[in-house]
Amino acid sequence: GQQLNQSPQSMFIQEGEDVSMNCTSSSIFNTWLWYKQDPGEGPVLLIALYKAGELTSNGRLTAQFGITRKDSFLNISASIPSDVGIYFCAGPLTGANSKLTFGKGITLSVRP
Partner 1 sequence: ETGVTQSPTHLIKTRGQQVTLRCSSQSGHNTVSWYQQALGQGPQFIFQYYREEENGRGNFPPRFSGLQFPNYSSELNVNALELDDSALYLCASSRGTASGNTIYFGEGSWLTVV
Contacting range for partner 1; rule: CB under 8 A; set: 14-22, 33-41, 67-75, 77-85: 33-41
- In the complex, least distance from residue 78 CB atom to partner 1, rounded to whole angstroms: 26
- In the complex, least distance from residue 14 CB atom to partner 1, rounded to whole angstroms: 25
The Cβ of residue 100 has, within 10 Å, a number of other Cβ atoms equal to: 15
The nearer residue to partner 1, 35 or 73, going by C-beta atoms, is: 35
CA-to-CA distance for 101 and 49, rounded, in angstroms?
Answer: 15
Sequential DSSP letters for 9-68: SEEEEETT--EEEEEE-SS--S-EEEEEE-TTS--EEEEEE-STT-EEEETTEEEEE-TT
The nearer residue to partner 1, 8 or 95, going by C-beta atoms, is: 95
Q: What are phi and psi of 5, to 5 degrees?
A: -110, 125
Q: Which of 57, 93, 109, 111 binds partner 1 (CB under 8 A)?
A: 93
Binding string, residues 39-78; x marks residues near partner 1 by CB under 8 A: -xxxxxx--x-x----------------------------
